[in-house]
Amino acid sequence: MNILAAESEVLAPLATGWFMDNAWLIPVVPTVAFALIILIGKRLPMKGSELGVFSMVISLVLSAGTAYQWIQRVNGTSEGQFVSPVVRSWSWWQSGGFDFGIGQHVDGLSVVVLFVVAFISTLVQVYSLEYLRGDRRYTHFFAALTLFSGGMLAMVLADNMILFLLGWEIMGLCSFILIGHWWEEDANSRAALKAFFTLRTGDMGLLVGISMLYFAANDWTQANLGLSGFSIRGISAWALSGEPNSSVITIAAVALFIASIGKSGQFPLHTWLPDAMAGPTPVSSLLHSSTMVVAGVFLVARLYPVFFVGLDILGSGGNLIVIIGGITIVISAALAFVQDDIKRVLAYSTVSQLGYMMLGLGAGAWLPAVFHIFTHAFFKACLFLGAGSISHSASHHSFDMKKDMGGLRKVMPITFATWIVSTLALCGVFPFSGFFSKDEIIDNVGHNGYNTFMIIGLVGAFMTAAYMTRATYLTFFGEPRGASAGHAAHSHDPHGASAPHDSHAAHDPHGATGPHESGLLITVPLIILSVLALGSGFLNATPFGESWERMKLWVEPRASVVIADSYPGGPGESLKLASGAVPAEESHSKSVCGSATPEKGVCYAPQLNHAPFKWSKALVSLLIVLAGMAISWVLSILVFTERDPRVAGLTSRIKVLGLGHKFLVDKYYLDHLYENVVVRSVAYPISQAAYWFNQNVLDGVLHTVARFAKRLSAWVYKNIDQRVVDTTVNNSAVLTKSVGTAAQPTQSGRVSQYGALLFSAAAIAALVLVIINT
Amino acid sequence: MFVNQFLFLAAVLFCIGVYGVVARKNAVLMLMSTELILNSVNINLLAFAMRNGSTDGHTFALYIIAVAAAEVGVGLGLVLLVYRNKKSISVDELSEMRG
Amino acid sequence: MMVVAALRVVTTNNVVHAALWLVAVLAGASGQYILLAAEFVAITQVLVYIGAVMVLFLFGTMLTRARIGFDSDLNNSYKRLGIPVAVVMMGAMGLALIRSFGDEKLPVSDNIVSTQRVSDQIFGPYLLPFWALSFVLLAAIIGAIVLARKD
């Protein structure tokens, strides 16, 4: 096992355990389940969903065990000691000097995201049991969902970039499959395609980044650590070693960030995420709110040293990541104001929150950003599942707030309660979890010198509160409208549930009873998630002091210099690292990591700053949030319910406001830009050229070949077949005939001739014999 | 007496017999020539029997005489039949083949 | 004498004459047998050949209405071929004989072959051919009768 070489007495050996060593099982189990569901799912009593749920539960248990053992491991170390991750790798394929391996890399970040993914996947699968009951492709849905979980878990646990890339791509594929689950409607398949292509554009950056990093880092990592240039630890150490060429690492960081932009829906590649709401709600809540879209954030967090050094995070007042993050926060929050579709509001909210995470990472607030991943997953998933619950049981599969919802708080109490809890968490109200994470981000952003962006963060918080209040009001308050009022019309729902009349027939006491609370399979996950939305903040409750900062203790990689004194053993063995922090540098004092090259040993993580908590700052942000909520509440009542003539219809009366509204509704014409300008200008001439090539070049070749073959065969027939072959045949017949004719006289039938021949032959034979024998 | 004189005599008779078989048209005469050949063989055999001091030659010669007699009998029967059918015993005319 | 007789057999134009010359050859052969101390065979030869076979020949000649007297139609077209063939054969055999036996003399032995010894041979080691021969003769007789039947 990987007990360290206990050279230095100061340091305690790191504890290990079965779960951590076998964490590679976590992604394997869902993948196997995926294969099983595809093969035998349709014949199982619950149509394969039981395999999916079961495998996710196993993964969840394994993740929980891994998390627990990681915590033990951290607790067993002394202050300032680098908690080395549990790494195991196996060589998968070697070719031409490249060595591709697969393996696991368990550290705090992995454990956090593993747990989140496994947990939310399990809940979503349970939720889907009820939500998609009777759906036409029930089995395949669960298969894709399970595969997605397997892929993301593999990505999270990857110890090298190739496996990371593999998991990334599997997620993209499953996203495509799941968004287009009801692909019979054109809008859904278009949305799926849009998601896929936008992701692909970003993935170019990932490939470029990985290759650049490999070629740049491989020599150093092989020499110093015995790892290949794909290994994540190797790259991290290399980035902080002062070795890399600054432009190389900057370009690599930018390339990788482009991939993050695509995957996490940052400006300008955010357009796919709202359209992805065309998929079923469980998909939206799993993929597009809590797990897949944080993959981009995860990438930045995982390879943080690369970004830290490449984009000079603590050194400058603005860099690419914070700029993009900041822009994303604002524009998506603005867009959330003009949506009628509840899922789209939540989608833009997700984009906005991802912007927060990016903002945090870009400003050096690593831990708050990661913590925000953790808390955001819970309350956003809860919000999405709540929206699903509403559509499932109240509004007849419609997600349109203005048309089919309203006043639902009376008939759906559980959904309402969980929604409110999650909304408050999202807005960042104390003591809900969002407060602890989002405010920490904003605080640290300011602390690290990015003041402008801190202001942007606060503005974003204001807008978040405002649009969520609007959405809440439209959904749960006021008078019931449309389907919520019990009207059974479900004429036009843009979410593709119109075709499955099969499912509708299955549970249609709706029409009779009107909107009602959803069943247990839906509400129980909601409740669990809302409890977590409330309580998960306390895992890192900075306001309450150091001892409450559990997450920081367990998750944040310590920036201490590590002296590696042995290299990896054979395949499957964990790296034996001696963690010899120079004893003088302990806990909160700064280590050289990130700012200078360590003299001996390597750094795996840069030294970051943590803003000390002050209630005064927190109060400011709380006030801003509450102000946003209040203003929005008042406006909502005025506009939507009372139709106050001073306020309602403002946008249609004042031209400027109307234009602004239209601009927002049309999503800044970005879609128009992408599809009509960019795509059209590239694709159209290419398709013309391809068509020309096909007709003239390819077909031309074929025709020429055919003509040639025809002429050749005619020639062959005339010359070879007729002349040569037939002549041979004829001549052989003639020869035979002539031989026969020549030999015929011997068969004359005359006895005397026979006798003559006989004796002549005898005479000659006798002569020959005599001559030979003398 | 020389061995050779008997052997030479036998050889000469043999060759004359061969010539007879080849050159005679009459079936009966052909058979006679065959008799010549057989007798030459007999002389040969008996000469060697004396030379070697054994009686094997005598035995064989007797057998040959017997066989020759049988053969002549059958042969003449055939000739008679041919004569009955063709009214001629010229072997040249026995062929019914064309060409 | 024998050679001359043989030559006359194959060259004469008269069928009956040819038969009579053949008798002469056969008699001469018998004389040779006696010279070779094969009395039993000689006597047998006279009895069988001259007595029976020649009679058969004469009967056959008679029954087939051979022309008595000069018959021009006795030789066929291969006469020209026959001479060289015979000469070649003679040459070959002569060569062989001279080379092989040279001046060898017949031994004068006390081991006279008596009839008893011959009969011992026939009914001893060579019994089987004797039986076969009797079958052949039987077959010949029956065959001749069958062939000569007037149907």
B94 touches chain A (CB under 8 A): yes
Taking the CA atoms of A311, A317, A322 and A324 in sequence, report the sign of the dihedral they define. Answer: negative
CA atoms within 13 A on the CB side of C36: 34
Q: Which is higher by pLDDT, C130 or B96?
A: C130
A706 touches chain C (CB under 8 A): no
B91 touches chain A (CB under 8 A): yes
Q: What's the confidence (pLDDT) of residue A493?
A: 40
- Minimal Cα distance from B34: which residue of A? A755
Which of C88, C96, C99 shows the shortest C-beta gap to A763? C88
Query: For chain C, what are the domain ranges?
Result: 1-72, 112-151
Q: Which is higher by pLDDT, C67 or A421?
A: A421
Residue type, A230: F
Q: Mean of the per-residue pLDDT values for chain B?
A: 84
Please compute the mean of the pLDDT values over residues C124-131 and round it to a whole number.
89
- Minimal Cα distance from A755: which residue of B? B22
> Which ipTM value was assigned to this complex?
0.84
A734 touches chain C (CB under 8 A): no
Helix (H, G, I), strand (E, B) or coil at A91: strand
Categorize the per-residue pLDDT at C115 as very low, low, confident or very high, splitting at 50, 70 and 90.
confident
Tokens linked to A734: 């003639």
- C-alpha dist (Å) from residue A651 to A331, A595, A668, A742: 19, 52, 17, 119
- Minimal Cα distance from A753: which residue of C? C78
C82 touches chain A (CB under 8 A): yes
Please compute the mean of the pLDDT values over residues C11-35 and round it to a whole number.
87
CA angle B63, B69, B72 (to 5 degrees): 140
Q: Identify whether B96 is part of a domain.
A: no
Please compute the mean of the pLDDT values over residues B72-98 and round it to a whole number.
79
CB pairs below 8 Å between B and C: how many?
Answer: 244
Which of A752, A759, A770 shows the shortest C-beta gap to C92? A770
CB within 8 Å: C38 and B50: yes
Neighbours of chain B (3+ CB pairs under 8 A): A, C
Which of C53, C86, C121 shows the shortest C-beta gap to B35? C53
Please compute the mean of the pLDDT values over residues B56-62 and round it to a whole number.
89
C96 touches chain A (CB under 8 A): yes
Q: What's the confidence (pLDDT) of residue B68?
A: 92
Tokens linked to A26: 């976590």
Q: What's the confidence (pLDDT) of residue A9?
A: 35
The alpha carbon of residue B79 is apart from the nearest alpha carbon of chain A, in Å, by 13
The alpha carbon of residue B60 is apart from the nearest alpha carbon of chain A, in Å, by 23
Q: What's the confidence (pLDDT) of residue A310?
A: 77
Q: What's the confidence (pLDDT) of residue A703?
A: 86
Neighbours of chain C (3+ CB pairs under 8 A): A, B
Residues of B in contact with C76 (CB under 8 A): 23-25, 91-92
Q: Identify whether B49 is part of a domain.
A: yes
| Cα(A517)–Cα(A523) distance, integer angstroms | 8
Residues of B in contact with A759 (CB under 8 A): 18, 21-22
- pLDDT > 90: what percent of chain C? 10
The alpha carbon of residue C34 is apart from the nearest alpha carbon of chain B, in Å, by 10
Q: How much is the CA Rg of chain C, to the nearest whole Å?
A: 20
Answer CATH for C1-72 from 3.30.590.20, 3.30.420.40, 2.40.50.140, 1.20.120.1200:
1.20.120.1200
Q: What's the confidence (pLDDT) of residue A565?
A: 43
Q: Identify whether B83 is part of a domain.
A: yes
Q: Average pLDDT per run of 10 along chain A, which is 774 residues long?
A: 36 64 81 86 76 86 84 71 69 69 80 86 86 81 89 87 88 87 82 83 87 82 74 78 77 87 81 81 81 83 82 69 85 82 86 87 83 87 86 73 72 84 85 81 79 84 86 78 56 40 40 63 82 78 66 68 46 38 39 62 68 74 82 76 60 62 67 68 77 81 88 84 84 90 77 80 85 78
- C-alpha dist (Å) from residue A445 to A219, A420, A451: 35, 28, 7
- C79 pLDDT exceeds 60? yes
Query: For chain A, what are the domain ranges?
Result: 315-487+514-539+614-665, 670-772
Query: Which residues contact residue A82 at a Cβ distance below 8 angstroms, ignoring those fewer than 6 apart?
Result: A557, A558, A560, A561, A562, A579, A581, A604
* Secondary structure (H, E, C), A343-400: HHHHHHHHHHHHHHHHHHHHCCCHHHHHHHHHHHHHHHHHHHHHHHHHHHHCCCCCCE
Nearest-CA neighbor of A541 among A430, A640, A632, A445? A430
CA dihedral C80, C82, C83, C89 (to 10 degrees): 150
B26 touches chain C (CB under 8 A): yes
Give the total number of structural domains in chain B.
1
CB within 8 Å: C76 and B24: yes
Residues of C in contact with B69 (CB under 8 A): 48-49, 52-53, 137, 140
Q: What's the confidence (pLDDT) of residue A494?
A: 40
Nearest-CA neighbor of A35 among A168, A142, A154? A142
The alpha carbon of residue A729 is apart from the nearest alpha carbon of chain B, in Å, by 27
CB pairs below 8 Å between A and B: how many?
Answer: 33
Q: What's the confidence (pLDDT) of residue C69?
A: 65
- Minimal Cα distance from A773: which residue of C? C96
CB A641 within 8 A of CB A279: no
B8 touches chain C (CB under 8 A): yes
Residue type, A631: I
CB within 8 Å: B11 and C94: yes
A772 touches chain C (CB under 8 A): no
CB contacts under 8 A, B 34-63 vs A, are: none
Query: Which residues contact residue A67 at a Cβ distance below 8 angstroms, ignoring those fewer than 6 apart?
Result: A111, A112, A114, A115
Q: What's the confidence (pLDDT) of residue A487?
A: 55
CB within 8 Å: C78 and A764: no
A742 touches chain B (CB under 8 A): no
Q: What's the confidence (pLDDT) of residue A654?
A: 63
Q: How much is the CA Rg of chain B, to the nearest whole Å?
A: 17
Tokens linked to A259: 């991939």
| Cα(A309)–Cα(A306) distance, integer angstroms | 5
- Domain containing residue B34: 27-91
Burial class (CB in 10 A: 0-12, 13-18, 19+), A155: buried
Tokens linked to C63: 């029954």
